Chain A
Amino acid sequence: MSAPILQVSDLRVTFDVPVRGGWPWTPPRKLQAVGGISFDLRPGEVLGVVGESGSGKSTLARAIIGTVPSSGRVVFDGQDLGNLVPGARRSRRRDIQMIFQDPLAALNPRMTVGDIIAEPLVTHHPKTPRAEVRRRVAEIMDRVGLLPNLMNRYPHEFSGGQCQRIGIARALILRPKLLICDEPVSALDVSVQAQVVNLLRELRRELGIAMIFIAHDLSVVRHISDRVMVMYLGRLMETATAKAIVETPRHPYTQFLIASVPIPDPELERARPRPVLEGDLPSPLAPPSGCVFRTRCPKARERCAQEPPPAYDVGPAHRATCHYWDEPTPMLEAAE
């Protein structure tokens, strides 16, 4: 097994929320968006991150690329990104690129597509001759399935799926070692989603890039990932191989997520029991004590409110953050 390309340990992101109606010197309230996430990523591996809205997935991505301040360690390719001076950190960014959720919003409306795709290249290799820049832009556009003769067009002239391909081309032009995809398909039509996911799979196979693939839809993540990480309220709930997550989920939250994935057959879908997770995500300003999932967990007991569960090893490379991972989940049992 090769050395991990990315090591994240105890990553925390805390935002200050100003108290409404307070004085300027009133201490702001703390919102912990990501609370102590650790994981390793090997070269060429795809890590899926799932969780509902507000679970801190996007914040995790932004903390890794460094656009939000965070504490904890992010070691990329043997270098601690937190210790770098801004200039060195900027040049490090060549190897970590990101794809965004809203394909059109991620493209500057005043720039041509060719200029957008060329931006990372021009930023990190400013002396590249213009003809060479154009050649490489055309090459990468061709590779992601865009006509290179569209490079003088503007983003608003493209469809959502094409815009996402432009975003992918921009992210790949420098051959990064790590690609972070922040819900790259959730703004797209289902048919286009499949095209984009397949494109990402092909590119990964060809180029051997490691990826962090964020989505709230487990069925998409399962399709592309080697390993899946389930997040809830900024905490890690369960991590395992994609196969193990789907077949033997141990954490009650993961079990609910798996049970909520629709079956693409109307008859089966109508007949199948649908356990629903009660209640809403608690406010991250006042997270529940102990286990953060206990307010919605059918297995919650006294102990869950008192001690936050550690990550139990529940199988090969499979860890779940639940005290009672080895007991059946009542509501799911009843539904079956």
Chain B
Amino acid sequence: MALTDPATEASRTATRPEKGRSLWTDARRRFLRNRAATAALAVLVLIAIFAFGGGFVAQYERDYVDFTLIGINASKGVPSFETGHYFGTDAEGRDLFARTVQGTRLSLLIGIVGSLVAVVVGTLYGAISGYLGGRVDSVMMRIVDILMSIPFMFVLILLLVIFGRSLLMLFIGIGLISWLGMARIARGQTLTIKNKEFVEAAIATGVRPLTIILRHIVPNLLGIVVVYATLLIPEMIIYESFISFLGLGVQEPNTSLGSLISSGASQVLNGGGEPWQLYFPLFFFVATLFAFFFVGDGLRDALDPKDR
């Protein structure tokens, strides 16, 4: 056999394949070197532990009304370890810790579900539209344009009013709109990727169009998709909080950060002496959003080192 490279001789002895350094490994290293992003990620992990494990620490059920405290909430319902109301009680005498845990969990779930729908539906829709191009692309993108031009908040409120306030409706409403922006971003990115030679090589080899989209286009889109998805989560949380703030979100006894902030804010506005009812949910709300934004920024820097 003809050999052109003397290094090939060495291959006979060294047959164990070496581990490669993928672009993802590089990105992870760059992300971990970014202190703010790593700290934000740690905060997020703590918040997630709080949201999903806090229930075991709570001394009360979230819907248990402590009748002994009614009327004397301002003095007896203060946050304290002795009574077991770590974050105090709300206006109805319910344990605020348990309610904040549940509210944070719901807000995170809304954000993650909205974002997942965006990642799965938006990425595939955008990639297919961009890859097929031509008339299919025009039709698919005009559909997105039309959906985007509908005032979404208005439709979501109508949906909740017509079909009743339910968690499912909220998830559907958020899922319906969250993928539109993602589809546009994915399509734009696909247009640049599909003209690369490796896609042409795959076509020339005879790979099927769907396989090309899944194997060659989508993995190269993922960097930007991940960044956008992380930045989309806080946006979804804000939407949900706004809906809940208006009183259209989740139903009692369920709660979310938005409705907790809403009731806390009205207490404070009415001159009540229970500011903790605003501060605890607000703290978790702000901390979650900040953490997501920092992680998103960190991911962006880590995934496209060129565009910094």
Contact = CB atoms under 8 A, between A and B. Distances in A.
Interface of A: 62, 65-67, 89-94, 96-98, 100-102, 105-114, 119-120, 123-124, 142-154, 156-157, 167, 170, 195, 198-199, 202, 206
A145 B9 CA distance: 9
Interface residues of B, number: 36
B269 to A, nearest CB: 53
A156 B23 contact: yes
A147 B206 contact: no
A149 B17 contact: yes
Contacts, number: 118
A90 B17 contact: no
B202 interface: yes
A124 B206 contact: yes
A119 B204 contact: no
Contact of A98 (B7, B10, B201, B215): B201
Contact of A198 (B4, B11, B208, B219): B4
Interface stretch (B49-57, B192-200, B277-285): B192-200
Contacts of A145: 3-5, 7-8
B306 to A, nearest CB: 13
A143 B196 CA distance: 27
A147 B11 contact: yes
Contacts of A97: 204-205
A172 B215 CA distance: 21
B198 A151 contact: no
Most buried by A among B8, B204, B208: B204
Interface in B209-234: 211, 215-216, 219-220
A91 B206 contact: yes
6 contacts: A108-B202, A120-B205, A149-B11, A149-B15, A149-B18, A152-B18
B14 interface: yes
Contacts of A147: 7-8, 10-11, 14
4 nearest A-B residue pairs (beta carbon): A145-B5, A93-B206, A153-B20, A90-B206
A152 B20 contact: yes
B17 A148 contact: yes
Contacts of A146: 5, 8
Contact of B203 (A67, A107, A111, A206): A67
Interface of B: 1-5, 7-8, 10-11, 14-23, 196-198, 200-208, 211, 215-216, 219-220
Nearest to A151: B17
A100 B206 contact: no
A67 B8 contact: no
A85 to B, nearest CB: 13
A231 B18 CA distance: 45
Contacts of B21: 153-154, 157
B18 to A, nearest CB: 5
Contacts of B206: 89-94, 120, 123-124
B201 A170 contact: yes
Contacts of A67: 200, 203-204
A154 B20 CA distance: 6
A72 to B, nearest CB: 19
Given A142-B11, A150-B17, 20 more contacts: A90-B207, A96-B204, A108-B215, A108-B216, A109-B198, A111-B215, A119-B202, A119-B207, A120-B206, A142-B8, A145-B7, A145-B8, A147-B7, A147-B10, A149-B11, A149-B15, A149-B17, A157-B21, A170-B205, A198-B4
A106 B18 contact: no
Contacts of B202: 108, 119
Nearest to A61: B204
A124 B207 CA distance: 8
A113 B4 CA distance: 20
